[in-house]
Amino acid sequence: MNPKNVGKVYLVGAGPGDPGLITVKGLQCIQKAEVLVYDRLAGHRLLTYARPDAELIFVGKGPDLHVYKQEEINEVLKQKGLEGKIVTRLKGGDPYVFGRGGEEAEVLKEAGVPFEVVPGITSAISVPAYAGIPVTHRDFTSNFAVITGNEDPNKEDSAIDWAKISTGIGTLVFLMGMGNLPMIVKKLIENGRDAETPVALIRWGTRPEQKTLTGTLNNIVEKATEVNFKNPAIIIVGEVVKLRDTLNWFEKKPLFGKRVVVTRSRQQASAFAAKLEGLGAEPWEFPTIDIQDPEDLAPLQQAIAKIHEYEWIVFTSPNGVQRFFTRYFEAGHDIRDLSGVRLCAIGPQTKKELAKFGLKVDYVPEEYRAEAIIDGLKDLDWKGRKVLLPRADIARKILPEALASFGAEVDDVITYRTVRGGGDAKLLRQMLAEKMIHAVTFTSSSTARNFVEMLGVDDQEELKQLLEGVTLASIGPVTSGTMVELGLTVDIEATEYTIPGLTDALLKHWGL
Cβ neighbours for 157, distance < 8 A, ≥ 6 positions apart: none
Q: Helices 425-433 and 445-455: crossing angle, nearest 10°?
A: 80
- The Cα-based distances of 87 to 47, 57, 83, 359 in angstroms read 14, 11, 10, 48
Phi then psi dihedrals of residue 166, to 5 deg = -60, -40
CA-to-CA distance for 146 and 129, rounded, in angstroms? 15
Q: Is 178 a catalytic residue?
A: no
Kindly give the pairing relationship between strand 211-216 and strand 198-203. Answer: antiparallel
Of 134, 236, 122, whose CA–CA distance to 181 is shortest?
236
CA-to-CA distance for 120 and 131, rounded, in angstroms? 19
Q: Is 39 a catalytic residue?
A: yes
The one-letter code for the residue type at 472 is L
Grouping H, G, I as helix, E, B as strand and the rest as coil, residue 353 is helix
User: Catalytic one among 39, 94, 411, 412?
Assistant: 39
User: Catalytic one among 8, 85, 176, 454?
Assistant: 176
Answer whether the bond into residue 232 is a cis peptide, omega within 30°.
yes
HSE on the CB side for 258, CA within 13 Å? 29
> 78 with 105: CB under 8 angstroms?
no
Q: In what helix (H) or strand (E) does residue 474 lie, and over which residues does it extend? A: strand 471-474
Q: How far apart are the first and last CA of the chain?
A: 62
Helices (H), 33-122: 70-82, 101-111
Of 234, 238, 184, 192, whose CA–CA distance to 216 is shortest?
238
> 239 with 198: CB under 8 angstroms?
yes
HSE on the CB side for 385, CA within 13 Å? 18
Q: Is 454 a catalytic residue?
A: no
Q: In what helix (H) or strand (E) does residue 280 lie, and over which residues does it extend? A: none
So which residues are the catalytic ones? Answer: 39, 61, 176
